[in-house]
């Protein structure tokens, strides 16, 4: 008992001494936990023996001693994707198969002080002075800096390398990064559209990415962004537009709606035709601003949960290739792994291909590491996933690994660039554009989606439907090149979107503009018109107070007048009055009501409320001629009779004065 007490007291005294002892000058303070070395560049695809160059940020608060050691620990090859996730998250530490170390004094640095070690890697026989990687596969690699005195780890990082033998690669599998550039808030309720700084920077990064390598990728860019660039008067935006256009000429772009539209929501609300109209608007916008760029109008990038009704709507809209990203595959069930191309269940969908993106990639969710390190992790996990599929005897021709990577920030852009370049140079992989049509049939693996919700909020349906009806009608009043055709369509596109909280404000703004256009037309004709003959003309004056020409349909109707061409389309000149002449005839005299209705050329939406004028016939043409001729005959008869009487009368005697 006393012996145990002495041991306890001695231990306590030693602990107190250690706590109170000052840190020696040659010891380094380290953070807890161990800080992570920043990977700025590294070799990823190891094809042969090489002197591999790394670029590292030591990420240590205090200066390093030249005697400290930079170590490279090669772990055993990763067997499956599940194992990869456990290792990448730090849940499992695999065994070490080889190592290489070098004193920091022998490591060069760049101008910023970053470490630039060179590590010899051997792919054949074992070599004690190099890392040996003999078998093909993805290997974890720990890089760490240790104190030369205490041997404690000052900083460390886990990364991955991909060892491949070119001669062993017989079949390639398809892989593609999905580059999505989206937005929902560039268009204002007044119809003005302009880029914000955040979107502008995303466009710059997209151009840089597309210009950094020539490999195929899958591209989806919101037509709203293309419109803002194409219509911008800012010189820098105009240059961005030209640069983006030039990059897209070498690739294709998937179709998209002007504003984000969820097909499941539109199908659930019974707005199938509205969704199709929005899809056509997106296609026409892309074609208008991007001549020479291939628009994959049969491909749809789905980002929201799909159901059977949404699939039916996409099929009716002409979509034959669906790319599932983000939450689109929620509740979806596949017969084979998600990276195997499939078709939706139901015989009607056997010609629709479905490609699911690689979900839950560890590298995308990491924020503490450098984007370069995360990019290598994404590439490594995709390669391990492909190895799993081949090991499971999947047909390589049906493997389509879609990697959806955002580029809204600088770090995300760098992550995607690093991952894409790593995959592009990996043997056994082929980068393709998955927006291009895929060939499937009823023998392909099937995918089923979850059921649609039982109830939908239909409160906005009437306003969207009424706005669409009015828009189509009032647009027919405009000339083909009138820019309001596009502006109004864009307002409805944003207003119908299922992703904006203030979407109803766009509907209200649109209908206000449509009403103002209709109210610019007025009828200035007097309430009463006089017709002086049986065959006359009714003259209607229409005033257009708007600064643009407007077309209207004018309809006249009368129960007692015969009208020639009473319904006609008239173009009203801007800021002037136009007279419409309609021939009319009647057989009786009196006052006759004439109804005048002015509507849109298409859709028959009222432009001017129905008005009634009175046509007064004051003289009947045939009877007047009869009376006039009769008067003339009577006058001639009287004159002839008077003349004959004067000739027959004898001369009277004259009186001669007598003288």
CA 561 to chain centre: 56
261 φ, ψ to 5°?
Answer: -130, 130
Distance CA 468, CA 270 (A): 14
Distance CA 87, CA 74 (A): 13
pTM of the model: 0.83
> Does pLDDT of 3 surpass 90?
no
Q: Counting beta carbons within 10 angstroms of the beta carbon of residue 31, is it exposed (0 to 12), middle (13 to 18) or buried (19 or more)?
A: exposed
Higher pLDDT, 400 or 635: 400
Lowest mean pLDDT among 29-38, 129-138, 315-324: 29-38
Report the alpha-carbon distance of residue 199 to residue 178 in Å, rounded: 18
pLDDT in tens, 348-384: 888 899 999 998 899 887 777 899 999 999 999 999 9
pLDDT band at 23 (very low <50, low <70, confident <90, very high): very low
Mean pLDDT estimate for the chain: 86
> For residues 654 and 651, what is the distance between their CA atoms, to the nearest angstrom?
9
Q: Are 52 and 43 in contact (CB under 8 A)?
A: yes
Under a CB-based contact definition with an 8 Å cutoff, are residues 260 and 329 in contact? no
Residues of the chain with CATH 3.20.110.20: 173-448
Contact (Cβ atoms closer than 8 angstroms) between residue 319 and residue 274: no
- Indicate whether 13 pLDDT > 80: no
- Per CATH, the architecture of 521-617 is what? Sandwich (2.60)
Distance of alpha carbon 57 from alpha carbon 370, whole angstroms: 10
Greatest C-alpha distance within the chain: 206
Asked if 188 contacts 228 with a C-beta cutoff of 8 angstroms, the reply is: no
pLDDT tier at 607 (50, 70, 90 boundaries)?
very high
Sign of CA dihedral 53, 58, 64, 69: negative
- pLDDT tens digits for 266-318? 999 999 999 999 999 999 999 999 999 999 999 999 999 999 999 999 999 99
Containing 160, the helix (H) or strand (E) segment is: strand 153-163
| C-alpha span between 267 and 312 (Å, rounded) | 9
- The stretch 569-593 carries a mean pLDDT of 86
What tokens were used for 499? 């992703």
Which fold, 38-168?
Answer: Immunoglobulin-like (2.60.40)
Interval 609-614 mean pLDDT:
88
CB-CB contact of 595 with 567 (8 Å): no
pLDDT at residue 657 greater than cutoff 70? no
Those residues whose C-beta lies under 8 Å from the C-beta of residue 63, and which sit 6 or more positions away, are: none
Range in 271-280, 552-561, 626-635 with the lowest mean pLDDT: 626-635
Structure confidence by residue, pLDDT tens digits, 384-398: 999 999 999 898 989
- 125: its two tokens: 């026989």
User: Where on the phi/psi map is residue 206: left (φ > 0), alpha (ψ -120 to 50), or beta?
Assistant: alpha
Which residues make up the CATH 2.60.40.10 domain(s) of the chain? Answer: 521-617
Q: What is the mean pLDDT of residues 482-490?
A: 94
Q: How many CB atoms lie within 10 A of CB 197?
A: 7
Cβ-proximal residues to 443 (8 Å cutoff; 6+ apart), any chain:
none
3-state secondary structure of 120: strand
Would you state the pLDDT for residue 11? Answer: 41
pLDDT tens digit string along 29-46? 444 578 999 999 999 999
User: Above pLDDT 70, what percent of the chain?
Assistant: 88
Q: Can you tell me the distance from the alpha carbon of 282 to that of 195, in angstroms, rounded to the nearest whole number?
A: 18
Residue range 173-448, CATH number:
3.20.110.20
CA-CA-CA-CA dihedral for 565, 568, 572, 577, to nearest 10? 30
Q: What is the pLDDT of residue 640?
A: 66
Q: Label residue 169 by pLDDT band (50, 70, 90).
A: low
Q: How far is CA 314 from CA 307, 413, 542, in A?
A: 11, 30, 45
Model confidence band, residue 619 (pLDDT cutoffs 50, 70, 90): low
Once rounded to an integer, what is the mean pLDDT over residues 394-421?
88
Average pLDDT over residues 134-161: 93
Cβ atoms 298, 290 nearer than 8 A: no
pLDDT value at residue 517: 96
List beta partners, residue 571. Answer: 551
Q: What's the pLDDT at 625?
A: 55
What's the pLDDT band for 20 if we cut at 50, 70, 90?
very low
pLDDT at 622 over 60: no
Residue 649 clears pLDDT 70, i.e. is over it: no
Stronger pLDDT, 62 or 563, i.e. the higher one? 563
Contact 143, 104 (CB under 8 A): no
């Amino acid at each position: 008992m006393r012996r145990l007490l002495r041991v306890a007291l001695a231990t306590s005294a030693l602990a107190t001494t250690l706590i109170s002892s000052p840190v020696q000058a040659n010891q380094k303070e380290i953070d807890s936990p161990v800080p992570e070395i920043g990977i700025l560049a590294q070799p990823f695809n190891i094809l042969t023996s090489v002197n591999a160059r790394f670029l590292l940020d030591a990420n240590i608060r205090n200066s390093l001693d030249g005697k400290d050691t930079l170590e490279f620990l090669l772990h055993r090859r990763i067997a499956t994707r599940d194992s990869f996730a456990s290792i990448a998250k730090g849940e499992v530490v695999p065994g070490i198969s080889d190592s290489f170390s070098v004193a920091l004094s022998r490591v060069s640095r760049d101008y910023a002080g970053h470490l630039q070690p060179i590590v010899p890697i051997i792919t054949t026989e074992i070599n004690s002075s190099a890392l040996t990687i003999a078998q093909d596969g993805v290997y974890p690699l720990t890089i760490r800096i240790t104190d030369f005195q205490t041997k404690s780890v000052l900083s460390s990082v886990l990364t991955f390398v991909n060892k491949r033998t070119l001669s062993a690669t017989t079949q390639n599998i398809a892989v593609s990064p999905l580059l999505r550039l989206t937005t929902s808030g560039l268009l204002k309720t007044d119809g003005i559209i302009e880029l914000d700084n955040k979107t502008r920077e995303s466009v710059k990064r997209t151009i840089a990415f597309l210009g950094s390598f020539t490999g195929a990728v899958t591209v989806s860019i919101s037509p709203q962004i293309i419109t803002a660039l194409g219509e911008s008067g800012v010189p820098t935006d105009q240059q961005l537009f030209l640069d983006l256009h030039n990059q897209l000429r070498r690739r294709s772009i998937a179709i998209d709606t002007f504003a984000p539209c969820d097909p499941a929501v539109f199908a659930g609300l019974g707005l199938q035709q509205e969704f199709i109209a929005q899809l056509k608007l997106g296609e026409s916008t892309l074609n208008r601003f991007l001549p020479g760029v291939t628009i994959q109008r049969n491909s749809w990038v789905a980002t929201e949960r799909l159901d059977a009704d949404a699939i039916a709507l996409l099929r009716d809209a002409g979509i034959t290739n669906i790319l599932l990203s983000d939450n689109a595959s929620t509740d979806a069930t596949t017969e084979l792994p998600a990276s195997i191309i499939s078709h939706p269940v139901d015989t009607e969908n056997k010609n629709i291909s479905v490609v699911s993106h690689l979900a839950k990639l560890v590298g995308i969710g990491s924020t503490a590491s450098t984007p370069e390190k995360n990019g290598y992790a994404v590439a490594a996990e995709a390669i391990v996933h492909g190895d799993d599929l081949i090991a499971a005897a999947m047909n390589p021709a049906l493997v389509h690994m879609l990697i959806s990577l955002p580029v809204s920030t600088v770090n995300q852009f760098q992550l995607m660039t690093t991952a894409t370049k790593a995959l592009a140079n990996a043997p056994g992989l082929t980068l393709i554009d998955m927006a291009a049509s895929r060939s499937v049939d009823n023998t392909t693996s099937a995918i089923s989606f979850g059921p649609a919700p039982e109830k939908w909020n239909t409160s906005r349906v009437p306003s969207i439907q009424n706005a669409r009806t009015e828009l189509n009608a009032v647009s027919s009043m405009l000339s083909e090149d009138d820019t309001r055709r596009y502006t109004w369509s864009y307002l409805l596109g944003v207003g119908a979107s299922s992703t904006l909280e203030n979407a109803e404000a766009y509907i209200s703004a649109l209908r206000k503009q449509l009403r103002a256009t209709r109210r610019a037309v007025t009828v200035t004709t007097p309430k009463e018109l006089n017709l002086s003959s049986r065959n006359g003309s009714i003259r209607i004056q229409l005033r257009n107070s708007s600064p643009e020409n407007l077309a209207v349909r004018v309809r006249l109707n009368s129960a007692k007048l015969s009208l020639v061409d009473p319904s006609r389309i008239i173009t009203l000149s801007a800021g002037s009055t136009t007279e419409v002449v309609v021939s009319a005839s009647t057989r009786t005299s009196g006052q006759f009501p004439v109804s005048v209705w002015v509507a849109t050329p298409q859709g028959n939406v009222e432009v001017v409320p129905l008005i009634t004028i009175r046509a007064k016939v004051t003289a009947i043409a045939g009877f007047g001629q009869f009376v006039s001729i009769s008067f003339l005959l009577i006058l001639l008869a009287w004159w002839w009779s008077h003349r004959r009487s004067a000739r027959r009368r004898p001369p009277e005697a004259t009186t001669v004065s007598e003288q």
